[in-house]
Amino acid sequence: MADFETPELFKHIHVPKPVPGSMESSGPFIAKPDHQEALGFPHELVDNWEEKAVEEMGNTLQKYRGLRVFLDSCVKCGACTDKCHYYLGSADPKNMPVGRQDLLRSVYRKYHTPAGKFLSKLGLEWLIGAKSMTREVLDDWYNYYHQCSECRRCSVYCPYGIDTAEITMAARDIMDKIGHGQKYNNEIIGKVFKIGNNLGLPEPALADTLEGLEEDIEDETGVKVELPLDREGCEILLVTPSADFFAEPHVDGLMGYAKVFHEAGVTWTLSSKASEAANFGMFIGSYENMRKISLRIREAAIDLGVKRIVFGECGHAWRVAYSFLNTLAGPFDFLDQNYPIPQHICEFTHDLIQKDKLKFDPSENDWMTLTFHDSCNVARASRMGDKPGGQFTIPRDIIKKVCNNYVDMAADTIGEGTYCCGGGGGLLTDDLMAVRVKGAMPRMTALTNVVLEDGVTHMAAICAICKSQFSKVLPYYNMGMDMIVSVHQLVSNALILTGQNSEDENEAETAKESE
Amino acid sequence: MSTFFALLFWFATAVIVLGLAFKIRQYWVTPAPLKIPTTPAPTTQAGVVYRMAKEVIVFESLFKSNKWIWIFGWMFHMSLFLVLARHLRYFQDQPWFWVNIIQPFGKYAAFTMVIGLVGLFVRRIVVARVRYISAPSDYLMLIMLFFIGFSGLIMNYVSHVDIIAVKEFFNAWMGFSIGDFPVSVPLIVHLSLVALLLIVFPFSKLLHAPGVFFSPTRNQVDNPREKRHIAKWAAELENNSKG
Ligand code: HEM
Ligand code: HEM
Ligand code: SF4
Ligand code: SF4
């Protein structure tokens, strides 16, 4: 494949000495004029882009207090320098969170602070690390702001909570507005506007796929479990990442949600209009686009007359749903206020487990030993349940209920300190393979350790991007691509449907005996 | 000399007061349009106050992050706090009773402050990652603070100054008149650097002191599903796109 080296794994995650320029490149593919057009951005780099970039930065500073405070407050203490998986995997100092911030901060200081303006007049801006907006700077922005997965790990460890993800979003937004967008993100958002989902699956294809899944479940269990599309008057609208419709292991998760809804005895539907939970508007830091994408969900909920909205397994989608949906597309006064709006599928399943409404045979999963990868956006940018930290306990409670063998990875690599999969934030594209493989190093280290020490065979996740990314990068680290599973795939394996074929139970018996 | 220092301090004081007022107002009026607390985050306002108190008093996140920076940084800041509290006596006729209580601690705090600063400085030079992110101003800031502390220690242990005279000078200064400045080299160094500190404060990374309180990842309540959060410009955007 591409010409880069997969990092070597050590017992402990190794903090490298900085190697400047080691990830220098021209960055991912640049958006074509029609990708830009669909989102309302200039087709290509505008003539006076230097001025325009500085001006857009000024506008963003007035809209986002976080950006201003973060750019002002960093004391260069260095606490974040060893916290980013891309730095750990690549050793490029511009991938240290503060190094990445400084690419923007140096320009901020020069044009938007009194100290920078004053010192520039004396030719002394180097004293405070201020820099002019040049082509070199823009190229660095484009390259390194597409080597950040907006995972917020740095923000946990910074004494002021400086969130490099916010800086990355601001930088990408500025670049979009001067006509220098990224192809992957912008093309996908265009598809969402045109067709309804990231993958560009039109309604008939969706209906077909769902029918196929119904057959699969019936073949396997003898029970007719429906996966309805655009059915009006249901209780629940399920919004799920479009990868769930066909990618592995995502689709097994989708079958899991369907079975859970079926057992719960609720009516539910998918929507072809909102056939995508992902919201790449967040990745490019564009409030307007993020809002437009969110409004589809509101419209679908109104059109279909549902009472509740439930989100499938997707990390950043859950961030946008949990943290932003009410802001972007609320208020949701037309939904049933007795349930969280929106609700995560894990909250939904967990609730049923608490009420003892689901019957499981966890031995169905006995052939695996599991661990759980906390997805960055769920861990550090959202919550589940009504207590802080529910996003960690709820998925684990579910897994432990449906599996007998569960082991956590090292404590500093999960929970709020979880390492990103390496493919989030709009980096899940083949033109960024080197970045993705290198950025996966810390997670791969932690995983390899539990594989060797505790015999872990599989890793579960609740994020479509994590699942796709791991399927792709696991082989680089000599592990099988099918090691990654969906949480609701495990639920699906163990769930005993009312009226399910008894053969299946016999199978489970034999599986147990043969151990 | 007396006139020079009186004017310098009026100027420096005006700069820091007006400068900080401007910055704090700016932070105050700029909205945070989205809920972005770093989770797990408190779900109540009281919880946020507790979280913030831990950040400001014990540097909780820094503690999680890096023990060396924490030890030196925390030592420096706590000492700085004691030293400044001890300094209140130069500005008060009758110092508050707690200012008297901490006098002896304040004296030792000068040492820990300087040790903390040296530790941070050494780290900045020795650790390649931190050296990479350091601009000249980052070193200068530490050097400036070091010499403020060092000149203070000299006055304390080597070449004593007339504290009563200093007090009288600053009492007069606060009444907008110019008293007699007790000329001595360490005091001149001390006060010149302090004036410089006050002047650069609102234009430099020292803005982290007010900044931390305005950081949305730390000061927001985690309740986006329960309560709709909307910024003014975002609400306007909504209205425009409706109409
Ligand atoms: C609310 C009050 C303050 C808080 C919570 C606070 C917190 C912090 C923290 C957590 C750090 C990073 C770790 C470290 O290097 O120590 C830091 C650095 C620093 N603080 Fe503060 N600080 C406050 C006020 C001040 C004040 C009033 C000054 C100035 C006189 C100051 C000067 C510095 C300097 C110079 C650094 C950088 C140290 C270095 O170069 O490594 N801080 N502060
Ligand atoms: C207008 C403001 C200030 C005045 C008039 C002032 C004056 C003095 C004087 C007269 C001393 C000698 C005390 C003695 O001999 O017992 C002293 C000591 C000292 N000063 Fe200041 N100072 C000021 C601001 C500061 C600031 C902002 C800092 C820290 C950043 C600082 C740090 C110190 C230290 C560490 C000592 C030695 C320990 C002590 O005596 O407390 N001073 N200062
Ligand atoms: S931890 Fe925060 S303050 Fe320290 S260098 Fe990193 S971003 Fe700056
Ligand atoms: S947000 Fe994540 S990827 Fe981006 S700089 Fe911080 S730690 Fe690295």
> DSSP 3-state assignment of A418?
coil
Q: What is the ipTM of this complex?
A: 0.96
Q: Which is nearest to A203 in space by CA: A232, A253, A249, A242?
A: A242
Please, are residues A151 and A376 in contact by the beta-carbon 8 Å criterion?
yes
| Residues A48 and A84 placed together within one structural domain of the fold | yes
- Chain B's closest residue to A322, CA to CA, is B225
Q: Containing domain of residue B106, as a range?
A: 2-19+38-242
- Chain A's closest residue to B41, CA to CA, is A388
| Residues A338 and A384 placed together within one structural domain of the fold | yes
Last residue of a domain, one of A156, A180, A204: A180
Q: Does the residue B59 lie in any domain?
A: yes
Distance of alpha carbon B101 from alpha carbon B90, whole angstroms: 15
From the CB of A79, is ligand 3 less than 6 Å away?
yes
Per-residue tens of pLDDT for chain A, all 515 residues: 457 999 999 999 999 999 999 999 989 999 999 999 999 999 999 999 999 999 999 999 999 999 999 999 999 999 999 999 999 999 999 999 999 999 999 999 999 999 999 999 999 999 999 999 999 999 999 999 999 999 999 999 999 999 999 999 999 999 999 999 999 999 999 999 998 888 888 999 999 999 999 999 999 999 999 999 999 999 999 999 999 998 999 999 999 999 999 999 999 999 999 999 999 999 999 999 999 999 999 999 999 999 999 999 999 999 999 999 999 998 999 999 999 999 999 999 999 999 999 999 999 999 999 999 999 999 999 999 999 999 999 999 999 999 999 999 999 999 999 999 999 999 999 999 999 999 999 999 999 999 999 999 999 999 999 999 999 999 999 999 999 999 999 999 999 999 887 655 555 544 444 44
Supply the CATH number for residue B83's domain: 1.20.950.20
The domain tally of chain B equals 1
From the CB of B190, is ligand 2 less than 6 Å away?
yes
Q: Does the residue B33 lie in any domain?
A: no
| Residues facing A236 on adjacent strands | A268, A308
Tell me if A327 and B32 make a contact (CB, 8 A cut-off). no
Last residue of a domain, one of A122, A150, A180: A180
Structure tokens at B187: 């005091």
Work out the minimum CA distance from A496 to partner chain B, whole angstroms. Answer: 33
Q: Containing domain of residue A500, as a range?
A: 191-507
Cα dihedral across residues B162, B166, B171, B176: positive or negative: positive
Tell me if A76 and B69 make a contact (CB, 8 A cut-off). no
From the CB of A167, is ligand 3 less than 6 Å away?
no
Q: Which of B40, B136, B216 sits opposite A389 (nearest CB)?
A: B40
Q: Which of A127, A160, A340 sits opposite B208 (nearest CB)?
A: A160
| Residues A218 and A348 placed together within one structural domain of the fold | yes
Q: Does the residue B204 lie in any domain?
A: yes
| Residues A149 and A239 placed together within one structural domain of the fold | no
Tell me if A79 and B62 make a contact (CB, 8 A cut-off). yes
* Residue-wise pLDDT tens digits, B157-216: 998 899 999 999 999 999 999 999 999 999 999 999 999 999 999 999 999 999 999 999
| Residues A275 and A350 placed together within one structural domain of the fold | yes
| Residues A489 and A382 placed together within one structural domain of the fold | yes
| Residues A365 and A282 placed together within one structural domain of the fold | yes
Last residue of a domain, one of A112, A146, A180: A180
| Residues A138 and A263 placed together within one structural domain of the fold | no
Burial grade of B237 (CB within 10 A; 0-12, 13-18, 19 or more) = middle
| Residues A169 and A222 placed together within one structural domain of the fold | no
User: What one-character-per-residue DSSP string does B91-111 give?
Assistant: T-SS--HHHHHTHHHHHHHHH
The domain tally of chain A equals 2
Task: Return the ligand number nearest the Cα of A85.
Answer: 4
Using the CB atoms, write b or e for B158-173: b if 16+ within 10 Å: eeebeeebbbbbbebb
Q: Which is nearest to A306 in space by CA: A230, A360, A361?
A: A230
Q: Does the residue B28 lie in any domain?
A: no
Residue nearest to atom 25 of ligand 1 (CA): B209
Residues present in chain B in total: 243
From the CB of B148, is ligand 2 less than 6 Å away?
yes
| Residues facing A371 on adjacent strands | A459
Distance B52 CA to ligand 1 centre (A): 15
Distance of alpha carbon A94 from alpha carbon A81, whole angstroms: 10
**Sheet (strand A236-239) strand order:** A268-270, A236-239, A308-311, A343-344
Supply the CATH number for residue A84's domain: 1.10.1060
Q: Does the residue A65 lie in any domain?
A: yes
**Sheet (strand A370-372) strand order:** A370-372, A458-461, A484-486
